[in-house]
Amino acid sequence: ERQAVADHANNLASKIRNNLTNSLKSLGVDILTGVGTVLGPQKLKYGKGDSEDKTITAKDIIIATGSVPFVPRGIEVDGKTVITSDHALKLEFVPQWIAIVGSGYIGLEFSDVYTALGSEVTFIEALDQLMPGFDPEIGKLAQRVLINPRKIDSYTGVFASKITPARDGKPVQIELIDAKTKEPKETLEVDAALIATGRAPFTEGLGLENINVQTQRGFVPVDSRMRVIDVKGNLVPHLYCIGDANGKLMLAHAASAQGISVVEQISGKDHILNHLSIPAACFTHPEISMVGLTEPQAREKGAKEGFEVSIAKTSFKANTKALAENEGEGLAKLIYRPDNGEILGVHIFGLHAADLIHEASNAIALGTRIQDIKFAVHAHPTLSEVLDELFKSAKVFLYLTPKSTSTEI
């Protein structure tokens, strides 16, 4: 079973990589293999190390070097018993007991995989609650469904100050300290540890010093149009940076959207990407998805800018398609401005949440208000009706005059 899953994942990744390569070639794109270094404006070199470097020039240069797994100090990764997500994708073995350091997207997704394959999982989270990056209400529901019924326990408010791989007949050793006081807590002994503490930009050795650019915590500084900024705050002509390397939103589809935006600009068409309209998804069973602001973020913004925030919710238990598939556990949550119908955020936990989120994402991108989208028609019976009910349940008051009359939509 493990080998079948691993083979499927590896074959799929290889197929996608080959398809992308062939697609680039069919479009007439030359692929030069090697390590690239910026030499100056519109100029760089590349090489493989075993041959002489070659220098090339270009009208425009786009940095898209991506990221690598972030490994905190004190953690020794051996690629076998202490691993990152890169190693975990190969699924070379299924440990009886695995500790996952970090409970964000990566940690949650792999906990789903390992528990399905029979492993016991222990989360180690530095913050006081699991899934800190999610909307709190969605996070609590997800914990009740994805974590509590499964063979998963957790430590919150602690750091893994030191992790030693299994060796000499000893298991993996994890030394825990209090995240606030830094006092020692206890030492865990497990079969394996997955480091899921996020990703770090892969920007070392790019030669940015040659154009007077300094990274910020490893990220290449850019403006809203992805144009690279030097240490004096000036734009570097014809140089852009997209994706994880700029740190704006570390998601593959965000990098793609940024790339399209840059190409538009190179083609002479001004374009600014609205990052709040870019959705995110966590591929657990069931899935989690989100776009825009969480409720705490929206309320903070409302307090600063002087507007009210309202919430609407709908359950998957009221959806015919979800019930037909025996997947009624789920919730969709809308965060919005009741005074003008602006959609501030949408969060979904439930069957195919990753697919459902795009109606909300597109609405935010296009500036569509609730009073317009609530009249959209959805096929029955489909999961899309979850969003239909969500938007219809929102109450928007359009103020006709500064003082008196208002109309509820």
Do 165 and 78 meet the contact criterion of CB atoms below 8 Å apart? yes
To the query of whether residue 285 is one of the catalytic residues in this protein, the response is no
The backbone torsions φ and ψ at residue 59, rounded to the nearest 5 degrees and listed phi first, read -65, -40
As beta bridge partners, residue 240 has 62, 227
Which is catalytic among the residues 8, 253, 285, 380? 380
How many other C-beta atoms lie within 10 A of the C-beta of residue 227? Answer: 17
Give the catalytic positions in this structure.
380
